[in-house]
Amino acid sequence: ADVPGNYPLNTNGNMYYCTILGENEFCRKVCKVHGVKYGYCFNSHCWCEYLEAKDVSVWNAAKNYCKNPVGK
């Protein structure tokens, strides 16, 4: 079964590059920043399972999930 998801984008609007394919601690952390629990390295970029389009940009994800009230 294919799990939906997206490639998250960093502050420059680029995908997160990764070198260790599959299980990847860096990608898991990236995906948590974007508001989802799990992700891995696929085709040299981090992929996040269940990442919705509204949270693909790290700026949007930060606004949606950051607890810091600055800028709200």
- Please indicate, yes or no, if residue 56 is contained in any of the structural domains: yes
The CATH number of residue 32's host domain is 3.30.30.10
Contact 8, 54 (CB under 8 A): no
- Please indicate, yes or no, if residue 26 is contained in any of the structural domains: yes
Strand, helix or coil at 9? Answer: strand
Q: Which domain holds residue 9?
A: 5-65
pLDDT digits (tens, 9 = 90+) for 20-69: 999 999 999 999 999 999 999 999 999 999 999 999 999 998 888 766 55
- Please indicate, yes or no, if residue 70 is contained in any of the structural domains: no
Number of domains the chain contains = 1
Quote the CA–CA distance of 15 and 59 in Å, as a whole number.
Answer: 13
pLDDT digits (tens, 9 = 90+) for 2-32: 899 999 999 999 999 999 999 999 999 999 9
